[in-house]
Amino acid sequence: MAANFVYVFAIVIAMIGFYVVIDRGNLLKKLIGLNIFQTAVFLIYISMGKISGGTAPILYDGDAPFSNPLPHVLILTAIVVGVATLALGLGLVVRIKEAYGTIEEDEIQAQEAAEEDGP
Amino acid sequence: MKEHLILRVISKELIPFVMLFALYVQMHGDYGPGGGFQAGVVFAAAFVLYGLVFGLKTLRKVAPVAVVGALVALGLLIYAGTGVAGLLLGGTYLEYGPLAHDPVHGHHYGIMVIELGVGITVAAVMITIFQSFAGRGEPEQD
Amino acid sequence: MIAANLPALQVVIPLIGAPLCMLLGRGRIAWALSAAATWAGFAVAIALLVAVIEHGPISYTMGGWAPPWGIEYRVDYLSAFVLLIVSGIAAVVMPYAYHSVNSEIPESRQRLFYTAYLLTFAGLLGMAITGDAFNAFVFMEISSLSSYVLISLGRSRRALYAAFQYLVLGTIGATFFVIGVGLLYMVTGTLNMADMAERLAAQADSRVTLAAFGFLVVGLSLKLALFPLHLWLPNAYTYAPSMISALLAATGTKVMVYLLLRFMFTIYGGGLHLGVAPVYHVLMVLGLLAAVTGSLVAIFQDNIKRMLAYSSIAQLGYMALGISFASGTGITAATVHLFNHALMKGALFMVMGSVMLRCGGTTIAHLRGLGRRMPLTMAAFVIAGLSMIGVPGTVGFVSKWYLVQAALGSGFWPGVPVAVVVLAASLLAVIYIWRVVEAAYFADPDGGAGAIEEATWPMVAATWILAGGCVVFGLTTDLTVGVASRVATLLLTGAP
Amino acid sequence: MVALTIVRLRNIFAVVMLSGIYSFLMATTFLVLDAVDVAFTEAAVGAGITTVLGLAAMALTTDREKIPTHWPTLPLAVVVVTGAILLYAVPDMPRFGAADSPIHRHVVPRYIDETPRAIGIPNIVTSVLADYRGYDTLGEVTVIFTAGVGVLLLLGRTRRRPKGSTK
């Protein structure tokens, strides 16, 4: 367990982010939580690629082992996906603010419930 | 921020260098860290800085929404088109080998072209996003 | 050359169509371009299915790199079948879309609307065809991101909030999926699904393998709206533009079911040797709960689109139930239901789109007396509705027949009680479908609105293709059940 | 630490800023773990774009968060269970930094051996990204493209240009 403390660390951060997503009512903060959650998952991927004493996977003279490039590639893609999601989410938040006048989950739900009871 | 003379002068000096750095990152992705995506982001940052300092209207003149939108699509087309080129030349989709007589060169060209596609799309999307968000903040004027 | 590259073309055609549509799509061109791309995709899917039936599974290497180094496209019975469902529904939706979209989306946005539509299409196809676990995630996000946008374009402001909820939950699901894939990669060192399956055997007792299984199942269940992780679905389907509701309800969650089948059976080989049998029990219980609560809640809905959305949750419960038996008949039932449910739900949501076009809303009140004013459209609703209930002669009956068979095949306990619950849930379907029929045929119209007429002919025709399909494939089951049972053999034994 | 503070703080401005710092710290961590490309991207995206976007969205909405009125039993339970499953897997994970774990022995060695010969560029990350797994990157660009289309659809202005005018 001790050798794998990096994973434990990443998991704890991931769970903090996850908690923010599912518990917080502020839509903006939810998105930031999502971001934290995802970045921590990226850390898990990157950690598994590390080789002790290794170097970055760019070929130079020298014979130190290379850290594993594949997780790096995957995470580059995942970061991009993450920022795309974030941009869309923020766009939605802005529109929600314009439509409802608030970005608090419970207030939006209250407004929707009121609509349903009304005509 | 239009009245801050110092800011305007400094950013005017700065922006070409930011763009130059972006191009360096774009071209140098084969050798060091970096590549199309990072270059696109840095390149877009130059435009964002310009927009912040000189105002959205000026930015729209330099980078009209329609042109940027077309570039968004163009980048993806370059990438996907490279794949089709490999296909037409007798390889499978996205196979770079057939692109040149020497397969190694083919791979090198292929990577350069698709990185260019990545860079264009990423930069254009980032500018689009900035323009859209900033455009929401100010009252409709035109 | 075209024949050899079919698997690539399947996804690349809509993928290139999207930026082209954005560049060139003015007015009708956007529609025409996406229709052309969709129909081409459908043709490719048919050709692929034929090729698979004749020559067995196809493997295609992207960039010419042999798996597991490069990304492999792998088409076997299951993926060819799902590709056919997705592209078939999309192809039928296109003629329907023209008028429906014109009435619901401002003209200035239609260009981007169709661009996003093509992206969703490409993403769904990409997920179904790829043989690479991480590539599946990338295409999952393409289809999800574009569908969030499409849903948010619904007319009511609630569409925005619905899309946001979907975005948050969908991203959590996708992130769980990424964790699962990452853990699998950690122990196997590969991302290619077939390679993964082979190497996983040596890691069967690792806790990492088990945890990965958990994350994959939960993540995908969230994406496919398995009860109780379905909270995003009703609002998303209710407030999305009509055409998008029809497309997503018929195909979106199906592809997630496909991925679930892929991971549970192709990669984990059923996973029973790993001691994950409890997962199947949980799946069974959740499937039953979904079938019952989904149907129950559906009965009390005033908005018919929302009612259909809850009914979808129930139907997804049936699929989960089929999977949970982990037997040949069970998987046949689940697979065949993928196809059948796509037909009927597509038809039902299309009817609601027509009603939306003519009456401006889809609540029970809007439907009063429509049986006489839109006779063709409502007749399609009745047929698809009967199928939803499971009346013999329709596709719904075929699915339930195999489901009940699978239940009874699993022994008296839990077989018989499960079969009884399935039949009871079908009775609930009778009630909610009947409410609509009653309003449409036996209630007097609310005076005044005399101008309501049949929807435009392409919309009616498209609706009837699917409604007709409910009957045709209900009577001749060679194609659907034939392929589905081969899928079951493939998944359970690994043999093609 | 930073992450924890984000949970506590109610001022969105501070939260956005802190999440920028968090990304920066993450980027540093990636650098330490030899992932130079990823570190560069995370710094540019996480600390740069995300912060700018977050601030822009905040400017358009609000910068205060309401104080929650309920005690978060269910979310907390979900989080604890999820975390527990992950922690349960940790002891069986390959040892951190070990050179002989499966991911280093399978698939990847070929990338490292072959890249200089077959592709002719020194950065293996680029060669895997753009060539071996080039199709993933095509998907990635499509995702970005989707985001662009989506933001235009959501926030773009609907100015009608007269018909026939071209760009």
Question: C167 to chain A: which residues are within 8 Å by CB?
Answer: 85, 88-89, 92
Comparison of pLDDT for D72 and B55, the residue scoring more: B55
Name the residue with tokens 């982001």.
B41
pLDDT at site C274: 65
Same-domain pairing of C426 and C339: yes
pLDDT for the residue A1: 47
The answer to whether residue D137 is domain-embedded is yes
* The token pair that represents C24 in the structure block: 């060139």
Cβ proximity of C196 and C161 under 8 Å: no
User: Average of pLDDT values for C432-451?
Assistant: 75
- In this structure, is residue D80 part of a structural domain? no
Instruction: Give DSSP secondary structure letters for B10-57.
Output: HHHHHHHHHHHHHHHHHHHTTTSS--HHHHHHHHHHHHHHHHHHH-HH
The answer to whether the beta carbons of residues B35 and B43 sit under 8 Å apart is no
Kindly state the average pLDDT of the residues D37-55: 78
**The pLDDT of residue C121:** 92
Asked if B122 is an interface residue toward chain D (Cβ–Cβ < 8 A), one would say: yes
pLDDT tens for residues D79-133?
Answer: 888 888 888 887 777 777 777 777 777 777 777 777 777 777 777 777 777 778 8
**Element housing C74 (H / E):** strand C72-75
Give the pLDDT score at D164: 34
Pairwise CB contact (< 8 Å): A80 & B37: yes
- Give chain C positions within 8 Å (CB) of A95: 152, 160
Q: Flag whether B76 is in a domain.
A: yes
Residue A82 burial (CB count, 10 A):
28
* Cα separation, D48 vs C458, whole angstroms: 49
Higher pLDDT, D5 or C435: C435
Name the C residues in 200-219 with CB < 8 Å from any D CB. 206-208, 210-212, 214-215
Q: What is the pLDDT of residues C47-81, one digit of tens each?
A: 999 888 888 888 888 877 877 788 888 888 889 99
Pair (C150, C292) in one structural domain: no
pLDDT, residue D162, reads 36
Say if residue D56 is in the same domain as residue D104. Answer: no
What are the start-end ranges of the H helices in C300-327? 304-324
Please check whether residue C155 is in contact with residue D72, taking contact to mean a CB–CB distance below 8 angstroms.
no
Binned at pLDDT 50, 70 and 90, residue C483 comes out as: confident
Work out the number of other CB atoms within 10 angstroms of the CB of residue A63.
Answer: 5
In whole angstroms, what is the distance from residue B96 CA to residue C483 CA? 37
* C246 and C315 part of one domain: no
In a domain, C437, yes or no: yes
Residues D107 and D50 in one domain: no
Q: How confident is the model at residue C142 (pLDDT cuts 50, 70, 90)?
A: very high
Identify the band that residue C140 occupies on the pLDDT scale cut at 50, 70 and 90.
very high
Q: What pairing do the DSSP bridges indicate for beta strands C72-75 and C58-61?
A: antiparallel
Q: Do D92 and C208 touch (CB under 8 A)?
A: yes
**pLDDT for C178:** 92
- Closest Cα in chain B to D147: B125
* Of residues A37, A48, A96, nearest to C164 (C-beta): A96
Contact C307, C330 (CB under 8 A): no
Residue D23 counted as domain residue: yes
Asked if the structure places residue B142 within a domain, the reply is no
At residue D65, the 3 state secondary structure works out as coil
Nearest 10 degrees: Cα torsion C212, C217, C221, C227? -120
Helix, strand, or coil here: A52? coil
User: To the nearest whole angstrom, how far is the Cα of B109 from the nearest Cα of chain C?
Assistant: 14
Say which amino acid occupies C347. A
Residue with tokens 């040596």: C202
Say if residue C205 is exposed, middle or buried (CB neighbours under 10 Å; 0-12, 13-18, 19+). exposed
Residue of B nearest to D165 (CA): B66
In a domain, residue D49? The reply is: yes
| Mean per-residue pLDDT, C166-192 | 89
Interaxial angle between packed helices C207-223 and C277-299, expressed in degrees from 0 to 180 and rounded to the nearest 10:
10
Q: Give the chain A residue nearest D135 (alpha carbons).
A: A77
Q: C233 pLDDT exceeds 80? A: yes
- Rounded Cα distance, D39 and D60, in Å: 30
Query: Which of A49-53, C168-172, C231-235, D56-60 has maximum average pLDDT?
Result: C168-172
- Chain centre distance of CA D85: 23
Structural domain range at position C385: 276-496
Domain count, chain B: 1
The verdict on residue D87 lying in a domain is no
Say yes or no to pLDDT of B140 above 50.
no
The residue of chain D with its CA nearest to that of A97 is: D61
Best mutation target among D111, D127, D140, D141 (most B Cβ atoms within 10 Å) is: D141
DSSP C359-403: HS--BHHHHTTHHHHSHHHHHHHHHHHHHHHT-TTSHHHHHHHHH
pLDDT band at D160 (very low <50, low <70, confident <90, very high): very low
Residue A119 predicted with pLDDT over 50: no
User: Using CB atoms, which residue from A76, A87, A90 is nearest to B37?
Assistant: A76
Question: For D34-107, where are the alpha helices, taking DSSP H only?
Answer: 36-42, 51-60, 73-89, 102-105
pLDDT tens per residue across span C206-221: 788 888 888 888 889 8
Query: Which stretch, B85-89, B113-117, C59-63, has highest mean pLDDT?
Result: B113-117
Residues C254 and C338 in one domain: no
Lowest mean pLDDT among C181-190, C425-434, C438-447: C438-447
State the count of interchain CB pairs (< 8 A) between B and C: 50
User: Is C475 a member of any domain?
Assistant: yes
Tokens of A109: 């739900």
Asked whether the beta carbons of residue C63 and residue B74 sit closer than 8 angstroms, the reply is no
Residue with tokens 């939960």: C218
Give D-chain residues touching B30 at CB under 8 angstroms. 121-123, 126
Q: How far apart are CA A71 and CA C382, in angstroms?
A: 52
Residue bearing the bigger pLDDT, D166 or B139: B139
Structural domain contains residue C269: no
Structure token digits, residue D165:
């005018």
Would B132 be classed as within a structural domain? yes
The answer to whether residue C216 is domain-embedded is no
C neighbour chains, 3+ CB pairs within 8 Å = A, B, D
Contact C468, C476 (CB under 8 A): no
Domains in chain D, number? 2
pLDDT, greater one: D10 or D24: D24
Q: Is the pLDDT of residue A77 over 60?
A: yes
Is D40 in CB contact (< 8 Å) with chain B? yes
Do D109 and D52 reside in the same domain of the chain? Answer: no
* Out of B30, B75, B93, closest to residue D126 by CB: B30
Domains and CATH numbers, chain A: 2-51+66-117 (1.10.287.3510)
- Min Cα separation D156/chain A (Å): 10
Domain count, chain C: 2
Query: C292 with C240, same domain?
Result: no
Interval C238-247: pLDDT, tens:
888 888 888 8
8 Å CB contact of B33 and A90: no
CA–CA distance, C427 with C433 (Å, rounded to integer): 10
Residue C455: pLDDT over 80: no
Whether the pLDDT of residue D152 is over 50: the answer is yes
Q: Identify the residue with better confidence: A93 or A118.
A: A93
Mean pLDDT in residue range C434-440: 87
pLDDT number for residue B137: 62
Q: What's residue C139's pLDDT?
A: 92
Confidence grade of residue D159 (pLDDT, cut at 50, 70, 90): very low
Q: Which contiguous run of DSSP H or E holds residue C1?
A: none
In-domain check, residue D72: no
Per-residue pLDDT averaged across C140-149, rounded? 92
Contact C63 B86 (CB under 8 A): yes
Closest in D45, D56, D121 to B133, CB measured: D56
Q: How far is A112 from chain D (nearest CA, A)?
A: 19
In a domain, B96, yes or no: yes
Chain A nearest C-alpha distance from C303 (Å): 11
| Of D6, C170, C165, nearest in space to A93 by CA | C165
Give D 63-92 residues with CB within 8 A of chain C. 85-86, 88-89, 91-92
* Best CA proximity match to A102, nearest among C154, A94, D69: A94
Hey, is the C-beta of A22 within 8 angstroms of any chain C C-beta? yes
A11 CA: distance to closest CA in chain B (Å): 28
Task: Tell me what pLDDT residue C84 has.
Answer: 92
In a mutational test of the D interface, the residue from B94, B101, B113, B142 whose CB has the highest number of chain D CBs within 10 Å is: B94
Q: Are C60 and C73 in contact (CB under 8 A)?
A: yes
pLDDT exceeds 50 at position A101: yes
User: Considering CB atoms only, which of A20, A81, A85 is closest to D7?
Assistant: A20
Q: For chains A and C, count residue pairs whose Cβ atoms are closer than 8 Å.
A: 70
- Expressed as residue numbers, the domain containing B48 is 5-137
CA distance B116 to chain C (A): 16
Chain B hits for C62, CB-CB cut-off 8 Å, are 92-94
Q: Cα D153 to chain center, whole Å?
A: 23
Chains adjacent to B (≥3 CB pairs closer than 8 angstroms) = A, C, D
Residue B12 within any structural domain of the chain? yes
When the pLDDT of each residue in chain D is averaged and rounded to a whole number, the result is: 74
Is C177 a residue whose pLDDT tops 90?
Answer: yes
Of D18, D42, D65, which residue is a domain's last?
A: D65
C88 plus C167 within the same structural domain? yes
As for the ipTM of the complex, it is 0.88
Residue C29 burial (10 A CB sphere; 0-12, 13-18, 19+): middle
Please give the span between the terminal C-alpha atoms of chain A, in angstroms, as a whole number. Answer: 60
Contact in structure between C402 and C281 (CB atoms under 8 Å) = no
Residues C436, C341, single domain; the answer is yes
Per-residue model confidence as pLDDT tens digits over C391-403: 888 888 888 888 8
Over pLDDT 70: what percentage of chain C? 95
Summary mean pLDDT of chain C: 85
Residues in chain D closer than 8 A to C188 (CB atoms): 102, 106
Distance from CA of B23 to the nearest CA of D (A): 15
| Domain interval for residue D147 | 100-157
**Sorting pLDDT into bands at 50, 70 and 90, what band is B139?**
very low
Where residue C7 falls among pLDDT bands split at 50, 70, 90?
A: confident
